[in-house]
């Protein structure tokens, strides 16, 4: 990587030039510089400057006060992208969760408050000059993750750095340096003091942005992070865990809910629910992942298609799509007792059934509650039982879904339910 030089978008150079011309020293910092040195495409170029937020806002025509109290101003460039420009900062007080910062004069102070050496490299987009006081470039060369300064202090200042360490080590395939690893594992017990949102976002970044999430997830387990944050997956036997992680890895990035579903698949329903509640996803995501992880694999094709109808009736077409992807990933990862071709066949059979639009839910039946009232039934919980039993009958053969047959059947079912109740009363 030593001969790789960052190449910044024109807008980054324009912002730097404008600020430097106004007399304010300005550097590109953070993830974009690191990614460029790794030869990876850089997104999210961040700039650090000597100018105060007020001065940044006076220098540019179109700005957004993103987090002025933390020193950050968004500058809208001509490429339509907003770049974050942050005043040099130093920490004056930290408590493991928050930091009180003040503005600083020198880039070195700003870099020294950053978490890892690889994240503490500055690059001057006009002079094409690297400023790397903590040896981040050398660590990238040897693929080492190391804190800036004493690991114990840096993790105690902000316990989120424990999660960031394993995320970066996983994503960039870095070895965590011995002291950094020793302190990190010694301090995991403090992770629950972080807000649930920050904890969740870290896991979501692993799932949604890491092409090889097995490494970061493996570190979550090895470091004891799962023990304190995610006991439900920590309790999995090694073989189940390894299989789940392989399947997660076979799923695409940018589909974090699918990957989460794969991770929770070997976990029982109650534990998966507890996990998801603690993660505090939106209600919609929580439901989707719970259904996905709780559904059985797609049944193999059958000529009568009854198995397919029953599966779809129980879990729905949306969940079916997700399960198909999980099954396919499992087959591709060599973690299923069938081939991907067989999964594709099973999926095709499901889609064929869906296309033929058979009745799958009570609402699809050719009779409804009003018909039951006409038969003399009193509305109540028994309605649900009757309709459910009719649906069960129709799932066996969709041609049974016509009015007259269903009405006859409804009478029969009602009689049976009645006599059932009477005999219960007698016993």
Question: Site residues for Mg ion, window 111-140 (CB under 5 A)?
Answer: none
Least distance between Mg ion and beta carbon 84 (Å): 9
Report the C-alpha gap between 385 and 362 in whole angstroms.
10
Q: What angle do CA 163, 231, 190 make, to 5 degrees?
A: 45
Report the C-alpha gap between 90 and 105 in whole angstroms.
9
With CB atoms as reference, the residue minimizing the distance to ligand ATP is: 31
Least distance between ligand ATP and beta carbon 212 (Å): 15
Closer by beta carbon to Mg ion, 182 or else 209: 209
Residue 61, Cβ density class (10 Å: 0-12 exposed, 13-18 middle, ≥19 buried): exposed
Closer by beta carbon to Mg ion, 31 or else 224: 31
Report the C-alpha gap between 86 and 81 in whole angstroms.
16
Which of 26, 49, 63, 119 touches ligand ATP by CB under 6 A?
Answer: 119
Residue 301, Cβ density class (10 Å: 0-12 exposed, 13-18 middle, ≥19 buried): middle
Query: Is residue 161 involved in binding ligand ATP (CB under 6 A)?
Result: yes
Query: Is residue 117 involved in binding ligand ATP (CB under 6 A)?
Result: no
Query: Is residue 158 involved in binding ligand ATP (CB under 6 A)?
Result: yes
Report the C-alpha gap between 374 and 301 in whole angstroms.
40
Which of 6, 30, 213, 261 touches ligand ATP by CB under 6 A?
Answer: 30
Angle between helices 256-264 and 269-279 (to 10 degrees): 140
Q: Of 205, 210, 209, 236, whose CA–CA distance to 221 is shortest? A: 236
Query: Is residue 322 involved in binding ligand ATP (CB under 6 A)?
Result: no
Find residue 175's DSSP bridge partners. 144
Type and span of the H or E element at 371: helix 369-374
Least distance between ligand ATP and beta carbon 365 (Å): 51
Closer by beta carbon to Mg ion, 110 or else 327: 110
> What SS3 state is found at 49?
strand
**Partner in contact with 358, chosen from ligand ATP, Mg ion, none, beta carbon below 5 to 8 Å by kind:** none
Least distance between ligand ATP and beta carbon 63 (Å): 20
Q: Is the dihedral of CA 142, 143, 145, 147 positive or negative?
A: positive
Query: Is residue 146 involved in binding ligand ATP (CB under 6 A)?
Result: no
Query: Is residue 135 involved in binding ligand ATP (CB under 6 A)?
Result: no
Query: Is residue 115 involved in binding ligand ATP (CB under 6 A)?
Result: yes
Query: Is residue 327 involved in binding ligand ATP (CB under 6 A)?
Result: no
Query: Is residue 31 involved in binding Mg ion (CB under 5 A)?
Result: yes
Are the CB atoms for 76 and 112 separated by under 8 Å?
no
Question: Site residues for ligand ATP, window 346-375 (CB under 6 A)?
Answer: none
Report the C-alpha gap between 169 and 177 in whole angstroms.
10
Question: Site residues for ligand ATP, window 199-218 (CB under 6 A)?
Answer: 205
Binding residues for Mg ion (CB under 5 A): 31, 44
Binding residues for ligand ATP (CB under 6 A): 30-31, 44, 46, 114-115, 119-120, 158, 160-161, 205
């Amino acid at each position: 990587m030593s001969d790789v030089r960052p190449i910044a978008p024109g807008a980054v150079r324009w912002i730097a030039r404008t600020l430097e011309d106004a007399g304010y020293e300005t550097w590109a910092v953070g993830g974009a510089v690191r990614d460029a040195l790794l030869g990876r495409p850089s997104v999210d170029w961040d700039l650090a400057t000597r100018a105060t937020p007020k001065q940044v806002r006076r220098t540019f025509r179109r700005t957004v006060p993103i987090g002025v109290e933390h020193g950050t101003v968004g500058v809208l460039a001509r490429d339509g992208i907003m770049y974050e420009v942050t005043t040099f900062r130093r920490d004056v007080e930290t408590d493991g969760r928050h930091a009180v910062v003040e503005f600083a004069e020198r880039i070195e102070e700003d870099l020294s408050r950053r978490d890892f050496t690889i994240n503490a490299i500055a690059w001057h987009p006009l002079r094409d000059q690297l400023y790397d006081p903590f040896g981040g470039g050398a660590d990238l060369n040897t693929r080492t993750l190391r804190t800036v300064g004493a690991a114990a202090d840096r993790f105690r200042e902000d316990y989120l750095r424990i999660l960031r360490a394993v995320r970066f080590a996983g994503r960039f395939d870095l070895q965590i340096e011995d002291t950094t690893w020793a302190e990190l594992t010694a301090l995991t017990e403090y992770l629950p003091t972080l807000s649930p949102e920050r904890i969740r976002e870290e896991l979501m970044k692993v799932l949604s942005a890491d092409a090889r999430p097995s490494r970061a997830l493996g570190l979550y387990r090895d470091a004891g992070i799962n023990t304190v944050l995610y006991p439900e997956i920590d309790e999995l036997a090694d073989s189940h865990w390894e299989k789940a992680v392989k399947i997660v890895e076979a799923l695409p990035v940018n589909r974090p809910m699918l990957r989460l579903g794969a991770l929770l698949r070997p976990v029982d329903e109650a534990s998966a629910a507890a996990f998801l509640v603690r993660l505090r996803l939106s209600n919609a995501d929580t439901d989707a992942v719970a259904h996905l992880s709780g559904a059985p694999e797609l049944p193999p094709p059958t000529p009568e298609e009854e198995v397919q109808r029953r599966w779809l009736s129980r879990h729905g077409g949306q969940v079916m799509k997700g399960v198909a992807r999980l099954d396919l990933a499992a087959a591709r990862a060599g973690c299923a007792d069938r081939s991907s071709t067989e999964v594709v066949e099973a999926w095709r059979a499901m889609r064929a059934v869906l296309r033929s639009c058979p009745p799958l839910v009570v609402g699809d039946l050719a009779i409804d509650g009003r018909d039951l009232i006409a038969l003399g039934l009193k509305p109540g919980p028994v309605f649900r039982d009757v309709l459910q039993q009719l649906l069960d009958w129709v799932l066996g053969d969709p041609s049974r879904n016509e009015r007259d047959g269903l009405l006859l059947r409804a009478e029969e079912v009602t009689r049976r339910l009645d006599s059932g109740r009477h005999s219960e009363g007698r016993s």
